[in-house]
């Protein structure tokens, strides 16, 4: 049988988020809230229509022309939102209606909803869930025989109805013929002046049509996000899901509860992740790496057998066998060559570090192109900024930069050049040359002793 279509309602303001960002764009494990239900919908439907309103421009900018958009100019409720799509829908077929704020619903549940809808030959099939704490959701009101009669929103519940634990997930499968005929007849809810999609149920029943239901076994998937507390709860559940998938694929996690990995991050097998590690955005990690503890990677490509501890790495590439940290800061635009070492309290910015080069301690390397096998001594600094502009430094293969050197850019240091420790280098150093630029040492024999005696005498007085 043909796949149904999907409509996703995403026009609401999300006032309960108390935010200037449209609710459906709030990030959850690195993707907007809306992204998750879109993925599930795409897996089981042939075409997706997005109802947008509040922040429509931002939503369209993120999702591009992947979908058909229908705008709901006035926000008059979920029923009104769905009414806007009617002119764009065919006369018959099946259609899923989803809310943009239920990110945990998985495709398998949607598939089951569609199958149940077909089996029950209903005009509408509602996805419901039984919750220990149903507060805030519309409740499913059934007859003594168990037939659905209506859905009552929290605001309108009687004391008796408040005890009902079966809730409406806001997800439905509709027969398009019934929807086209009866959705325009939706009554306006008098107390709020809105058109509730939930009020369509009695309309269908009054017209002799069937309304069925499918109850989710895993009620947590039904979580609707209306405020930031629910968002944090959903994020925690999503993290569990992401981590479980990765562990099943061969990634080791010492403590999954403190391992924060965005949706879409890829990690190879036998990589070990220590606690307090955060992998964000477009990050890919190879096999057999050791990451963390206390590591933050953003949009970073990591090869195989990389060791990276207690560090921050942003928009950079770490090639195979690289060793980073502890306490390194790799800033955007950097490439650390295979088997190179960036050690403690080293900052690298917009630089490429050649294969097997070492910057092991207390250095700053900015706007630098460094060849292979270079050794940068402790405390050396590339002086890339003259107060007005940034300048480039080139360091050739096998060069040796002595401890505590200042390399004042723009500068070219040739292959195999040797910079004596403590030098301030302002001119290019040709290949194979030694540069030394520091004050000559003077030694005055016996002077220290004399000075000490003077000090002691003055203290006695
Ligand atoms: C809705 C349901 C409720 C259900 C709950 C599940 C109604 C009247 N209530 O309540 O029974 O238990 O979802 O999470 O349907 N939207 C629009 N245009 C509007 C209003 C809303 O597009 O004018 C969109 C929102 O962006 C959101 C979705 O519809 O994605 C649901 O709206 P929301 O205001 O969150 O409804 P709830 O109060 O949660
Ligand atoms: Ca909601």
Asked whether the predicted pLDDT for residue 190 surpasses 90, the reply is no
Q: What confidence score (pLDDT) does residue 2 get?
A: 80
CA 335 / ligand 1 centre spacing (Å): 46
Angle at 194 between CA 192 and CA 197, to 5 degrees: 125
**Mean local confidence (pLDDT), 300-307:** 99
What atom of ligand 1 comes closest to residue 102's alpha carbon? 14
Distance 399 CA to ligand 2 centre (A): 62
Taking residues 398-403, report their average pLDDT: 98
Q: List CB-based neighbours of ion ligand 2 within 5 Å.
A: 101, 224, 226
Model confidence, pTM: 0.94
For the Cβ of 138 lying below 6 angstroms from any atom of ligand 1, the answer is yes
* pLDDT score of 66: 84
Q: How confident is the model at residue 411 (pLDDT cuts 50, 70, 90)?
A: very high
Give the tokens for residue 379: 């405390």
Work out the pLDDT band at 459, boundaries 50, 70, 90.
confident
pLDDT tier at 17 (50, 70, 90 boundaries)?
A: very high
pLDDT digits (tens, 9 = 90+) for 37-91: 999 999 999 999 999 999 999 999 999 998 899 999 999 999 999 999 999 999 9
Q: What is the per-residue pLDDT across 121-177, written as a single tens digit (0 to 9) for each?
A: 999 999 999 999 999 999 999 999 999 999 999 999 999 999 999 999 999 999 999
Mean pLDDT of the chain: 97
Q: Is there an atom of ligand 1 within 6 Å of 321 CB?
A: no
Ligand 1 midpoint to CA 78 (Å): 6
Average pLDDT over residues 422-438: 98
User: Token digits for 185?
Assistant: 């007849």
Residue 461 has pLDDT above 90, yes or no: no
From the CA of 99, the nearest ligand is: 1
Residue 141: how many other CB atoms lie within 10 Å: 17
- Sequence-distant (≥ 6) Cβ neighbours of residue 20 within 8 angstroms: none
Instruction: For residue 393, name the pLDDT band (cuts at 50, 70, 90).
Output: very high
What are the Cα distances from residue 98, in Å, to 170, 176, 200, 204?
Answer: 6, 15, 15, 19
Determine the distance separating the centroid of ligand 2 and the alpha carbon of 77, expressed in angstroms: 11
**Which residue puts its alpha carbon closest to atom 14 of ligand 1?**
224
H, E, C per residue of the chain: CCCCEEEEEECCCCHHHCCCCCHHHCEECCEEHHHHHHHHHHHHCCCEEEEEECEHHHHHHHHHHHCEEEECCCCCCHHHHHHCCHHHCCCCCEEEEEECCCCCCCHHHHHHHHHHHHHHCCCEEEEEEECCCCCCCCEEEECCCCCEEEEECHHHCCCCHHHCCEEEEEEEEEEHHHHHHHHHHCCCCCCCCCCCHHHHHHHHHHCCCCEEEEEECCHHHHCCCCCHHHHHHHHHHHHHHHHHHHHHCCCEECCHHHEEECCCCEECCCCEECCCEEEECCCEECCCCEECCCEEEECCEECCCCEECCCEEECCEECCCCEECCCEEECCCCEECCCCEEEECEEEECCEECCCCEEEECCEEECEEECCCCEECCCCEEECECCCCECCEEECCCCEECCCCEEECCEEECCCCEECCCCEECCCECCCCEECCCCCCCCCCCHHHHHHHHHHHHHHC
The residue to mutate among 170, 199, 226, 231, having the most atoms of ligand 1 within 8 angstroms of its beta carbon, is 170
Q: Report which protein residue has its CA nearest ligand 1's atom 16.
A: 12
Residue closest by Cα to atom 22 of ligand 1:
11
Contact 59, 34 (CB under 8 A): yes
CB 214 within 8 Å of CB 127: yes
Burial class (CB within 10 angstroms; exposed 0-12, middle 13-18, buried 19+) of 168: buried
- Tokens 């280098």 label which residue? 425
Find the 159 Cα to ligand 1 centroid distance in Å: 22
Instruction: Give residue 263's pLDDT.
Output: 98
Q: In sequence order, what are the beta bridge partners of 425? A: 407
Q: How confident is the model at residue 302 (pLDDT cuts 50, 70, 90)?
A: very high
Residue 120 CA, ligand 2 centroid: distance in Å: 27
Q: For 243-266, write each residue's pLDDT tens digit.
A: 999 999 999 999 999 999 999 999
pLDDT of amino acid 420:
98
Rounded Cα distance between 392 and 218, Å, is 57
Atom of ligand 1 nearest to the CA of 52: 22
Average pLDDT over residues 187-195: 91
Q: What is the percent of the chain where pLDDT is above 90?
A: 97
Instruction: Return contacts of 14-22, CB within 8 angstroms, 24+ apart.
Output: 14/54, 14/101, 14/226, 16/226, 16/227, 17/226, 17/227, 17/228, 17/231, 18/227, 18/228, 19/228, 21/55, 21/58, 22/54, 22/55, 22/58, 22/59
Is residue 10 within 6 Å of ligand 1 at its C-beta? yes
Angle between helices 33-44 and 56-63 (to 10 degrees): 60
* Ligand 1 atom having least distance to the Cα of 169: 6
Domains of the chain (ranges, CATH numbers): 5-222 (3.90.550.10), 251-435 (2.160.10.10)
Integer Cα distance of 205 and 448 in angstroms: 103
| Atom number in ligand 1 closest to CA 196 | 8
Predicted pLDDT at 276: 98
Ligand 1 near 77 CB (within 6 A): yes
Residue 44: name the closest of 89, 96, 119 by CA.
Answer: 96
Q: Which residues are catalytic?
A: 361
Residue 389: pLDDT above 80?
A: yes
Any atom of ligand 1 within 6 Å of the Cβ of 354: no
Q: What is the pLDDT of residue 43?
A: 97
Structure tokens at 401: 């930069």
Closest CA to 306 of 278, 276, 282, 336: 336
79 lines ligand 1 (CB under 6 A): no
69 CA to middle of ligand 1, Å?
18
**For ligand 1, atom 35: residue with the closest CA:** 226
């Amino acid at each position: 049988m043909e796949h149904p279509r999907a409509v996703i309602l995403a026009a609401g303001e999300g006032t309960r988020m108390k935010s200037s960002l449209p609710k459906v764009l709030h990030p959850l494990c690195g993707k907007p809230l809306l992204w998750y239900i879109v993925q599930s919908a795409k897996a089981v439907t042939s075409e997706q229509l997005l109802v947008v309103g509040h922040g429509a421009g931002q939503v369209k900018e993120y999702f591009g022309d992947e979908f058909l958009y229908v705008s709901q100019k006035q926000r008059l409720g979920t029923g009104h939102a769905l009414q806007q799509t009617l002119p764009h829908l065919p006369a018959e077929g099946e259609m899923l209606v989803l809310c943009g704020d239920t990110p945990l619903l998985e495709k398998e549940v949607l598939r089951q909803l569609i199958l149940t809808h077909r089996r029950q030959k209903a005009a509408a099939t509602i996805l419901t869930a039984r919750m220990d704490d149903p507060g805030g959701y519309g409740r499913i009101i059934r007859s003594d025989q168990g037939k659905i009669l209506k859905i009552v929103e929290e605001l309108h519940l009687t004391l008796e109805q408040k005890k009902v634990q079966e809730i409406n997930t806001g997800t439905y499968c509709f027969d398009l013929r019934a929807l086209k005929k009866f959705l325009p007849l939706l009554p306006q809810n008098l107390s709020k002046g809105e058109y509730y999609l939930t009020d369509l149920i009695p309309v269908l029943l009054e017209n002799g049509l069937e309304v069925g239901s499918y109850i989710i076994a895993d009620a947590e998937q039904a979580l609707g996000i209306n405020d930031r507390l629910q968002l944090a709860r959903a994020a925690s559940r999503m993290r569990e899901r992401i981590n479980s998938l990765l562990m099943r694929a061969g990634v080791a996690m010492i403590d999954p509860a403190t391992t924060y990995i965005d949706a879409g991050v890829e990690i190879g097998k036998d990589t070990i992740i220590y606690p307090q590690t955060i992998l964000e955005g477009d990050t890919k990690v190879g096999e057999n790496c050791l990451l963390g503890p206390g590591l933050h990677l953003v949009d970073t490509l990591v090869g195989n057998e990389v060791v990276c501890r207690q560090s921050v790495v942003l928009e950079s590439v770490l090639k195979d066998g690289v060793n980073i940290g502890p306490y390194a800061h790799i800033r955007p635009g950097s490439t650390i060559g295979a088997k190179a070492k960036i050690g403690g309290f080293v900052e690298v910015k917009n630089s490429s570090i050649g294969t097997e080069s070492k910057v092991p301690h207390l250095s700053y390397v900015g706007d630098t192109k460094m060849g292979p096998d270079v050794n940068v001594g402790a405390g050396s600094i590339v002086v890339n900024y003259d107060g007005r502009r940034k300048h480039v430094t080139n360091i050739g293969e096998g060069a040796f930069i002595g401890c505590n050197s200042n390399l004042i850019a723009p500068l070219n240091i040739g292959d195999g050049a040797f910079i004596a420790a403590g030098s301030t280098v302002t001119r290019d150093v040709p290949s194979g040359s030694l540069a030394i630029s520091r004050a000559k040492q003077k030694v005055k024999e016996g002077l220290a002793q004399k000075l000490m005696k003077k000090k002691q005498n003055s203290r006695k007085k």
